[in-house]
Amino acid sequence: QTLEQRARALTSPHSASWLLSQWLEQCNNPEVVAAVQLPTSSSSSSAHGSGRFSWELSFHQVLLRSSAFETVLESCTRGALRIALEEPSQGERPTLDEALRSLAERLLLPGALALWPSLLEALLLGDLGGGPLPWASWARRLVGSLKKPWQVEAWPDQVRKMDNRIADLVPSGAALDESAEPSSSGPCLIV
């Protein structure tokens, strides 16, 4: 199942809290990695042949890249999940509320959490507010635009892996110390 399918299938506050807690735990675990084939630009695809580039993404990056968080929020606007978030007497609200907030803290841009309570309220209110504006669809799009870009989260790991690959390609005897004279026969690599 995809992350979105799992999020769409949520019906009880307990299962929603459990799934969000699992996702948060996996986000905090750098060992959880998925290999993802991403398309390259059209100019580089002809040079490389396949037109695809392989990235190793952490679960956190995969979750940012997906629309699973937005789908969870949409699921929270229906049935028992909505009731659990609207009525504190249900006993599940702190757990589901805390799980949603914790995941929002991990996925949203810094500063976006100041909007979180209002966004959640707009999502729960939905388009039932009686006004002419579609608050629920606006809030869903806003949440999607406030997520951290997965590419920015992926760059440090990708650069480190590329640097290691380049270092593996350089022969160990090719480096010269700073006191050595460069050879006139070709380029000199000083590390």
Tell me what percent of the residues of the chain surpass a pLDDT of 90.
Answer: 18
Instruction: Fill in the amino acid letter for 39.
Output: P
**Integer Cα distance of 84 and 161 in angstroms:** 44
**Integer Cα distance of 53 and 78 in angstroms:** 39
How large is the average pLDDT for residues 88-104? 73
Q: Please determine, for residue 4, whether its predicted confidence score (pLDDT) is greater than 60.
A: yes
Answering whether pTM is above 0.95, one says no
- Which of 5-14, 19-28, 129-138 shows the lowest mean pLDDT across its residues? 129-138
Label residue 21 by pLDDT band (50, 70, 90). very high
pLDDT tens-digit profile of 178-188? 555 555 555 54
Neighbours of 124 (CB within 10 A): 18
Most confident of 88-92, 104-108, 164-168, 176-180: 104-108
Distance of CA 7 to the CA centre of its chain: 15
Q: Decide if 33 contacts 56 (C-beta within 8 A).
A: yes
Q: Please determine, for residue 69, whether its predicted confidence score (pLDDT) is greater than 70.
A: yes
